[in-house]
């Protein structure tokens, strides 16, 4: 006789052993929540303190934001580099590429428009003389 667990889809919640899976997933989510709260509190502290070097605050906030994204990807979305997660990692990389292209293209267009909207120095002097 076959075990009923082998006749279920892997994503089916009834296919897993309830006590072991629930305890381990609760522990993983708790660690993720704890790290996310710590990183968020640290970001607010860094933005509102005068104890840190002022030019370094922006860099520190970027580092904390990247760490926050890593915590969410690993602990909540369960994105790893394992062989079973290849499609998820590729989809994430493609999404990041698209976001970078959109943001970079938008900045490029806005910079180009700003440069083209400015009057030349000769026209600016002529305008000021009138």
Q: Is 16 left (phi over 0), alpha (psi -120 to 50) or beta?
A: beta
Q: In the listed set 42, 63, 78, which residue is the last one of a domain according to the structure?
A: 78
88 and 102, same domain (yes or no): yes
Q: In the listed set 60, 78, 96, which residue is the last one of a domain according to the structure?
A: 78
Give residue 25's Cα distance to chain centre.
Answer: 22
Q: Provide the whole-model pTM.
A: 0.62
- pLDDT of 111 reads 86
6 and 68, same domain (yes or no): yes
CA atoms within 13 A on the CB side of 56: 6
Provide the number of structural domains found in the chain: 2
63 and 99, same domain (yes or no): no
Cα(67)–Cα(47) distance, integer angstroms: 16
DSSP state of 17: -
pLDDT tens digits along 69-111? 999 998 998 888 778 888 888 888 999 999 999 999 999 998 8
What domain range is 91 assigned to?
Answer: 83-130
Give residue 51's Cα distance to chain centre.
Answer: 27
Higher pLDDT residue, 122 or 65? 65
14 and 74, same domain (yes or no): yes
11 and 56, same domain (yes or no): yes
CA pseudo-torsion sign 64, 65, 68, 73 = negative
Q: Please name which of 66, 62, 89, 67 lies closest in space to residue 78, comparing C-alpha atoms.
A: 89
- pLDDT of 57 reads 93
56 and 89, same domain (yes or no): no
- pLDDT of 9 reads 42
The pLDDT confidence band at residue 13, using thresholds 50, 70 and 90, is low
20 and 34, same domain (yes or no): yes
3-class secondary structure, 72: helix
pLDDT tens digits along 22-71? 778 888 899 999 999 999 999 999 999 988 898 999 999 999 999 999 99
87 and 70, same domain (yes or no): no
Q: In the listed set 78, 97, 114, which residue is the last one of a domain according to the structure?
A: 78
- pLDDT of 59 reads 95
């Amino acid at each position: 006789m076959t075990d009923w667990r082998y006749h279920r889809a892997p994503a089916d919640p009834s296919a897993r052993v309830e006590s072991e899976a629930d305890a381990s997933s609760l522990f993983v989510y708790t660690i993720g929540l704890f790290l996310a709260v710590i990183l968020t509190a640290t970001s607010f502290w860094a933005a509102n303190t005068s104890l840190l070097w002022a030019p370094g605050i922006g860099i520190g906030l970027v580092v904390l934001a990247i760490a926050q994204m890593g915590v969410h990807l690993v602990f909540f979305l369960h994105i790893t580099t394992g062989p079973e997660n290849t499609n998820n990692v590729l989809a994430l990389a493609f999404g990041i590429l698209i976001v970078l292209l959109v943001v970079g293209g938008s900045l490029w267009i806005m910079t180009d428009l700003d440069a083209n909207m400015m009057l030349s120095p000769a026209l600016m002097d002529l305008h000021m003389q009138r």
